[in-house]
């Protein structure tokens, strides 16, 4: 990699050169060869060519791919002559010498209109912007600097015949950098805006871009605000024949400009003010005047259509009458005197145009200042400066229409040429001195005589013109020419028909109203028409005062001279003297800087790519003084190169220096040149560079080098091939050795392994045999040892058993003795015990007999003291006392009076057992009697009824237990009290035993209907519940045969009627009531009372019921409670009614 980059450094301008890249090397140097070289390069898209460090640029009129970021990188930090000529090389050189050597730079771009100056200046700026520092702040500065261009171009550029985007002002821009080379800001100076364009444009040209951009690009709203119309043809100041430029979209340009203004830092209201002024200028052109005769025969002009005037005044905030008066009168003030004269129509138009031009040019100057304010460097620290000058080059109109402007421009170019020559020579000379080369005088044309002709303060053309302008009395352009003819006639560069020298008297190419100057670049014929006027640049004071009075801050600030308080009776400086002063400042400025030149050339007049018009180029080459330039450059030595670079490039041409020179580069070059036998006068040794006088020498060196390079290439190839073959062979050889070695090793290894394994097998056999032999021996020994042990063991065993037997015998004998002894002892003991028992019984018998005897004796003794039967009486007394005590205790321990209380005190004596039980029974009966005694007859009847119910239902019907606690009320409906049942009550004569609502089951579907059930002592009745009195059936109790019901907890029951009775016609009744227990009990009771016969009560889960003709079976089944907690009845078929009872 390191080598690669080193090789890159060695590239040179001389490589792959088309034509010659540096005109200094042109051989032979003639105008023809010069142009031929340019053409050749141009045809190969090489638009840049050097003259030493000057860059000639030919406008390609199409975009070339040579401005890419890659190119920027390529040229960055490279030496000037290393790569093919490019504007970037110049920009890089300038930037680096600014940054690294701290030299302020200026880049002077000259050339005629359309030659590519403005483009070149932009390329330089963009290159510098690309290579200089980065960062947010720096980028903003860069952006502002770059964006100042579109703004200035919109206001200062116009389409001309030569250039669609021609700058109509000179521009010099200082870009300021800090010590690191980062941009800080800039200052722009503008020179001589071509303001006459505002009011009039030559054929095929346009006014300044901004007018068209505004009209095309502004919104309807904005146009309305500015009182403008979109149509270009509405404005006199806009020429119509080229209103639009092909390939340019004015509307989008307008947006770009507005955006650029914003970026540069214009406030919205500032932009608005600027556009108002532009609009006002446009509208000024539409004001027209008409003559109006006055008494003293003088034509006075009047504004024709006041509408436009009115609108302008509204737009700019000017009092209409003031402006109107300013267009009609002119006030001249001289020494406290004020004279007011009327203006005629022509003067009025002149005044109008002067106003428009002044407005516009002052606006332009204001814009430049405003931009400067924005891009001004924000630091007071020392800055390095790079100036870029883009000013129109020499202008020569062949038609001879050269006027004041051309004169001024050419003067400026003359000055630039002067400092160019000065600086180039200076630089050249400095280099010679630096390098210690003898300086030989160079013959060249010094144009200072021409500059003097123009700018000399006493008798220069400009001074003369000023004098004429200030002179009282009638002054015209011809008086000016006359004066010139007098004063300058002798000057060798001035030509005039009327000059005193007779040589031009018959020169018909020189008209009478013209003069001609021999500029360094050629002769130029100037028409004197308009010189005086243009130099005067007069704006009537009335107009500037009118402007100053405007209620518009921008306009007011543009016309400070209109302020009556600061009235200045002295004439303002003339245009010429102003320009001269600013050129002088510029020159002074440039002289302090290191110059870099870009000379732009236009290849054709058609703005076409690929066309190279020799005559046109020739003309430019001449007036740019390029030949002069080359001559100056090679006056001494055409080519110079540092020793190192020279040696590096040509060292292959000499044996001593090839391939390496070990010593000073200078000595190497010396050896080399001597070896090549180059004549000594052809070169000279500087301190660090070799100077070559003639390009021919260089090219012969180049030629030899090329040839030698071919030879070297073959040599290198040869050596390389040999080296490659040998390397290959060596590689093969060493590979073979390696392979053989590896194979041998492998074979030996294999053989060795085989031998080794055989040895191991033999060895193992022998070892095995040996081992077995030893084993056998060992086994025999072991067996012998074991036999001994076994025999020993047997012998010991026999001995031990024998011993044991002896011991056992002994033990058995000892035990027999013990047993015998023990039984003997036992016998002895039992015998003793028997004896002792006998003895004790005898003793007891003696005691008892003794006691009896004593008793008998006592009883015999005391019998005589007692009466007969006393014992019986004592006994009875004792018994009585015990019974007494028993009753008293019983009285205290009596249980409660409740018949349910079953408690009774415990029995104290066994003989009182029967008494105790009897007493308990009596007590119980007594408490029961007492309890019964509390009952009334009514209560008795209720209990009787309850008793009866119990007899009938207890343990038979599941519903019964729940009815025990409920008292039987009988009349639940309170028939004789409730007024609802009054009528029903009156139908029943007897006493009502029972009355309640029951459900009568419908035979058809098993559903129930509510009925009033009434029971008296000899019948029961069913009445309609709804009406409360309609009796449905009456059944005498005598006709009731039986009652049927289930054993479940339901309330269904059937009442059967004796067959053949009236009641039987309807059939049996199937009813449902919660109070079934009470109803049946009462029915039973009433039936018994009436007939002394019991009504049959059937409790079964399945019974038959007679309905009219047919019998229906009623069946009770138990089911889950999900059917409800109530029993329900359903007709299953015409023989079966099913009652579902919830299972308990």
Ligand X SMILES: Nc1ncnc2c1ncn2[C@@H]1O[C@H](COP(=O)(O)OP(=O)(O)O)[C@@H](O)[C@H]1O
Q: How far is the CB of 285 from ligand X (least distance, A)?
A: 26
Specify the residue, 118 or 413, whose C-beta has the smaller distance to Mg ion: 118
The SS3 call for residue 1026 is: coil
Q: Are strands 384-390 and 105-110 parallel, antiparallel or unpaired?
A: parallel
Residue 899 CA from chain centroid, whole number = 101
Structure tokens at 979: 């007024």
614-623 and 626-633 helices cross at what angle (nearest 10)?
A: 60
Specify the residue, 354 or 598, whose C-beta has the smaller distance to ligand X: 598
* Residue 612 site contact among ligand X, Mg ion, none (CB < 5 to 8 Å, cut-off depends on kind): none
Specify the residue, 108 or 454, whose C-beta has the smaller distance to ligand X: 108
Q: How far is the CB of 169 from Mg ion (least distance, A)?
A: 9
Specify the residue, 163 or 499, whose C-beta has the smaller distance to ligand X: 163
* Residue 116 site contact among Mg ion, ligand X, none (CB < 5 to 8 Å, cut-off depends on kind): ligand X
Q: Which residues of this chain interact with Mg ion, rule CB under 5 A?
A: 117-118, 167
* Residue 61 site contact among Mg ion, ligand X, none (CB < 5 to 8 Å, cut-off depends on kind): ligand X
Q: How far is the CB of 127 from ligand X (least distance, A)?
A: 12
Q: How far is the CB of 274 from ligand X (least distance, A)?
A: 23
Eight-class DSSP state of 315: H
CB atoms within 10 A of CB 122: 17
Contact indicator for 1041, 1058 with CB cutoff of 8 Å? yes
Q: How far is the CB of 197 from ligand X (least distance, A)?
A: 14
Cα–Cα separations (whole angstroms), residue 91 to 54, 386, 420: 11, 10, 18
Specify the residue, 21 or 114, whose C-beta has the smaller distance to ligand X: 114
Specify the residue, 312 or 598, whose C-beta has the smaller distance to ligand X: 598
Specify the residue, 108 or 701, whose C-beta has the smaller distance to ligand X: 108
518 CB-contact burial (10 Å; exposed 0-12 / middle 13-18 / buried 19+): middle
Half-sphere exposure of 852 (CA within 13 A, CB side): 5
Specify the residue, 58 or 1014, whose C-beta has the smaller distance to ligand X: 58
Q: How far is the CB of 597 from ligand X (least distance, A)?
A: 14
Q: How far is the CB of 62 from ligand X (least distance, A)?
A: 6
Please confirm whether the linkage preceding 235 is cis (ω < 30° from 0).
no
Specify the residue, 61 or 349, whose C-beta has the smaller distance to ligand X: 61
Q: How far is the CB of 70 from Mg ion (least distance, A)?
A: 27
Q: Where are the alpha helices (DSSP H) in 388-530?
A: 404-435, 448-455, 461-470, 477-487
Helix or strand holding residue 640 (H, E): strand 639-642
Q: How far is the CB of 63 from Mg ion (least distance, A)?
A: 17
Specify the residue, 115 or 184, whose C-beta has the smaller distance to ligand X: 115
Q: How far is the CB of 89 from ligand X (least distance, A)?
A: 14
* Residue 165 site contact among ligand X, Mg ion, none (CB < 5 to 8 Å, cut-off depends on kind): ligand X
Structure tokens at 617: 């180029």
Please confirm whether the linkage preceding 356 is cis (ω < 30° from 0).
no
Q: Where are the alpha helices (DSSP H) in 565-605?
A: 575-591
Q: How far is the CB of 606 from ligand X (least distance, A)?
A: 12
Q: How far is the CB of 113 from ligand X (least distance, A)?
A: 4
Separation of alpha carbons 284 and 146, rounded Å: 33
N-to-C CA span, the chain: 109
* Residue 59 site contact among Mg ion, ligand X, none (CB < 5 to 8 Å, cut-off depends on kind): ligand X
* Residue 119 site contact among Mg ion, ligand X, none (CB < 5 to 8 Å, cut-off depends on kind): ligand X
Specify the residue, 599 or 946, whose C-beta has the smaller distance to ligand X: 599
Specify the residue, 120 or 228, whose C-beta has the smaller distance to ligand X: 120
Q: How far is the CB of 11 from ligand X (least distance, A)?
A: 23
The SS3 call for residue 505 is: coil
Q: How far is the CB of 247 from ligand X (least distance, A)?
A: 9
Contact indicator for 1019, 1036 with CB cutoff of 8 Å? yes
Asked whether the CA dihedral 331, 334, 338, 340 is positive or negative, the reply is: negative
Q: Which residues of this chain interact with ligand X, rule CB under 6 A?
A: 59-64, 111, 113-119, 163-167, 600
* Residue 115 site contact among Mg ion, ligand X, none (CB < 5 to 8 Å, cut-off depends on kind): ligand X
1012 CB-contact burial (10 Å; exposed 0-12 / middle 13-18 / buried 19+): buried
* Residue 1055 site contact among ligand X, Mg ion, none (CB < 5 to 8 Å, cut-off depends on kind): none
CB atoms within 10 A of CB 678: 16
* Residue 895 site contact among Mg ion, ligand X, none (CB < 5 to 8 Å, cut-off depends on kind): none
The SS3 call for residue 786 is: helix
Contact indicator for 326, 543 with CB cutoff of 8 Å? yes
CB atoms within 10 A of CB 809: 10
Separation of alpha carbons 259 and 253, rounded Å: 10
Q: How far is the CB of 122 from ligand X (least distance, A)?
A: 8
Q: How does DSSP assign 827-891, residue by residue?
A: HHHHHHHHHHHHHHHHHHHHHHHHHHHHHHHHHHHHGGGS-TTHHHHHHHHHHHHHHHHHHHHHH
Specify the residue, 110 or 574, whose C-beta has the smaller distance to Mg ion: 110
Helix or strand holding residue 1044 (H, E): strand 1040-1045
Q: How far is the CB of 121 from ligand X (least distance, A)?
A: 8
Contact indicator for 395, 192 with CB cutoff of 8 Å? no
**By Cβ distance, which residue is nearest to ligand X?**
116
* Residue 684 site contact among Mg ion, ligand X, none (CB < 5 to 8 Å, cut-off depends on kind): none
Structure tokens at 534: 């243009």
* Those residues with Cβ within 8 angstroms of residue 454's Cβ, 6 or more apart along the chain or in another chain: 407, 411, 414, 460, 461, 462, 517
CB atoms within 10 A of CB 671: 18
Query: Which residue, 631, 646, 644, is CA-closest to 14?
Result: 646
Specify the residue, 86 or 117, whose C-beta has the smaller distance to Mg ion: 117
Specify the residue, 128 or 690, whose C-beta has the smaller distance to ligand X: 128
The SS3 call for residue 160 is: coil
Specify the residue, 117 or 352, whose C-beta has the smaller distance to Mg ion: 117
């Amino acid at each position: 990699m390191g080598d690669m980059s080193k090789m890159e450094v060695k590239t040179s301008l001389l490589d792959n050169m088309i034509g010659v890249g540096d005109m200094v090397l042109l051989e032979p140097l003639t105008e023809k060869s010069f142009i031929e070289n340019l053409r050749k390069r141009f045809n190969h898209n090489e638009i840049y060519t050097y003259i030493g460090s000057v860059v000639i640029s030919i406008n390609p009129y199409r975009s070339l791919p040579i401005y890419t970021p890659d190119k920027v990188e390529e040229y960055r930090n490279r030496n000037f002559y290393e790569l093919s000529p490019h504007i970037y090389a110049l920009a890089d050189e300038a930037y680096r010498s600014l940054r690294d050597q701290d030299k302020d730079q200026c880049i002077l771009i000259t050339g005629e209109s359309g030659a590519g100056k403005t483009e070149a200046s932009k390329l330089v700026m963009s290159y510098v912007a690309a290579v200089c520092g980065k960062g947010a702040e720096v980028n903003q500065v860069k952006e502002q600097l770059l964006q100042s261009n579109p703004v200035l171009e919109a206001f200062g550029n116009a389409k001309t015949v030569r250039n669609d985007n021609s700058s109509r002002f000179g521009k010099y821009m200082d870009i300021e950098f800090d010590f690191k080379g980062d941009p800080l800001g800039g200052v722009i100076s503008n020179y001589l805006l071509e303001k006459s364009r505002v009011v009039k444009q030559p054929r095929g040209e346009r006014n300044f871009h901004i007018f068209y951009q505004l009209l095309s690009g502004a919104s309807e709203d904005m146009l309305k605000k500015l009182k403008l119309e979109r149509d270009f043809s509405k404005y006199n100041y806009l020429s119509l024949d080229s209103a639009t430029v092909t390939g340019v979209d004015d509307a989008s340009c307008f947006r770009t400009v507005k955006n650029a203004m914003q970026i540069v830092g214009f406030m919205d209201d500032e932009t608005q003010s600027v556009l108002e002024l532009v609009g006002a200028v446009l509208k000024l052109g539409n004001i027209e005047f008409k003559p109006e005769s006055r008494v003293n025969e003088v034509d006075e002009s009047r504004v024709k259509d006041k509408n436009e005037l009115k609108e302008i005044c509204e737009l700019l905030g000017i009092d209409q009458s003031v402006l109107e008066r300013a267009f009609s009168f002119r006030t001249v003030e001289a020494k406290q005197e004020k004279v007011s004269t009327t203006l005629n129509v022509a003067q009025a138009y002149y005044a109008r145009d002067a106003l428009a031009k002044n407005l516009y040019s002052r606006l332009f100057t204001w814009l430049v200042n405003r931009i400067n304010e924005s891009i001004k460097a924000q630091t007071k620290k020392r800055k390095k400066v790079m100036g870029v000058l883009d000013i129109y080059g020499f202008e020569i109109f062949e038609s001879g229409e050269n006027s004041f402007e051309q004169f001024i421009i050419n003067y400026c170019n003359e000055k630039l040429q002067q400092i160019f020559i000065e600086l180039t020579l200076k630089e050249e000379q400095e280099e010679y001195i630096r390098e210690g080369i003898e300086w030989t005088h160079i013959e060249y044309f010094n144009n200072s005589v021409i500059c003097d002709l123009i700018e000399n303060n006493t008798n220069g053309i400009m001074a003369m013109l000023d004098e004429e302008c200030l002179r009282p009395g009638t002054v015209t352009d011809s008086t000016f020419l006359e004066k010139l003819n007098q004063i300058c006639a002798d000057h060798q560069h001035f030509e005039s028909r009327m000059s005193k020298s007779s040589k031009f008297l018959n020169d018909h190419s020189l008209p009478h109203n013209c003069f001609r100057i021999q500029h360094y670049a050629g002769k130029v014929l100037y028409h004197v028409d308009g010189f005086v006027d243009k130099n005067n640049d007069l704006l009537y004071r009335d107009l500037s005062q009118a402007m100053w009075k405007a209620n518009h801050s921008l306009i007011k600030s543009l016309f400070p001279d209109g302020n009556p308080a600061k009235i200045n009776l002295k004439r303002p400086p003339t245009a010429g003297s102003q320009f001269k002063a600013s050129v002088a400042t510029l020159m002074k400025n440039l002289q302090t800087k290191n110059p870099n030149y870009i000379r732009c050339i236009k290849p054709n007049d058609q703005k076409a790519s690929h066309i190279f018009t020799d005559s046109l180029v020739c003309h430019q080459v001449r007036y740019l003084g390029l030949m002069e330039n080359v001559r100056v450059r090679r006056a001494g030595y055409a080519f110079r190169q540092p020793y190192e670079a020279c040696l590096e490039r040509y060292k292959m041409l000499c044996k001593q220096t090839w391939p390496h020179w070990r010593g000073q580069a200078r000595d190497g070059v010396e050896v080399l040149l001597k070896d090549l036998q180059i004549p000594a006068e052809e070169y000279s040794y500087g301190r660090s560079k070799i100077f070559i006088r003639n390009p021919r020498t260089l090219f012969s060196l180049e030629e030899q080098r090329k040839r030698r390079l071919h030879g070297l290439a073959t040599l290198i190839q040869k050596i390389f091939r040999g080296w490659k073959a040998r390397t290959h062979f060596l590689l093969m050889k060493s590979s073979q050795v390696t392979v053989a070695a590896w194979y041998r090793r492998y074979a030996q290894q294999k053989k060795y392994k085989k031998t080794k394994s055989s040895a191991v097998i033999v060895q193992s056999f022998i070892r095995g045999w040996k081992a077995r032999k030893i084993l056998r021996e060992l086994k025999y020994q072991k067996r012998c040892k074991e036999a001994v042990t076994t025999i020993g063991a047997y012998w010991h065993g026999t001995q031990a058993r024998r011993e044991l037997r002896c011991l056992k015998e002994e033990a058995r004998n000892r035990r027999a003795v013990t047993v015998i002894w023990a039984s003997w002892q036992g016998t002895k003991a039992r015998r003793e015990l028997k004896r002792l028992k006998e003895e004790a019984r005898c003793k007891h018998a003696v005691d008892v007999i003794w006691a009896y005897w004593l008793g008998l004796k006592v009883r015999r003794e005391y019998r005589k003291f007692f009466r007969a039967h006393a014992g019986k009486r004592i006994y009875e007394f004792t018994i009585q006392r015990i019974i007494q005590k028993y009753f008293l205790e019983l009285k205290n321990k009596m249980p409660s009076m409740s018949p349910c209380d079953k408690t009774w005190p415990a029995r104290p004596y066994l003989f009182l057992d029967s008494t105790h039980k009897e007493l308990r029974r009596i007590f119980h009966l007594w408490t029961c009697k007492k309890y019964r005694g509390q009952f009334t007859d009514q209560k008795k009847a209720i209990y009787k009824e309850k008793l009866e119910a119990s007899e009938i239902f207890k343990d038979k019907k599941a519903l019964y237990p729940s009815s025990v606690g409920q008292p039987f009320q009988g009349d639940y409906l309170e028939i004789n009290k409730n007024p609802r049942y009054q009528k029903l009550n009156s139908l029943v004569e007897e006493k009502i035993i029972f009355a309640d609502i029951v459900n009568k089951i419908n035979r058809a579907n098993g559903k129930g209907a509510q009925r009033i059930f009434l029971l008296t002592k000899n019948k029961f009745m069913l009445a309609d519940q709804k009406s409360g009195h309609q009796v449905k059936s009456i059944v005498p109790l005598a006709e009731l045969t039986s009652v049927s019901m289930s054993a479940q907890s339901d309330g269904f029951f059937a009442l059967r009627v004796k067959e053949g009775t009236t009641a039987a016609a309807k059939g049996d009744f199937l009813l449902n009531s919660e109070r079934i227990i009470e109803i049946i009990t009462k029915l039973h009771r009433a039936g018994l009372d009436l007939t002394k016969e019991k009504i049959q009560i059937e409790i079964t889960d399945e019974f038959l019921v007679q309905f009219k003709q047919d019998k229906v079976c009623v069946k009770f089944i138990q089911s889950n409670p999900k059917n409800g907690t109530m029993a329900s009845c359903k007709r299953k078929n015409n023989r079966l009614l099913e009652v579902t009872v919830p299972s308990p």
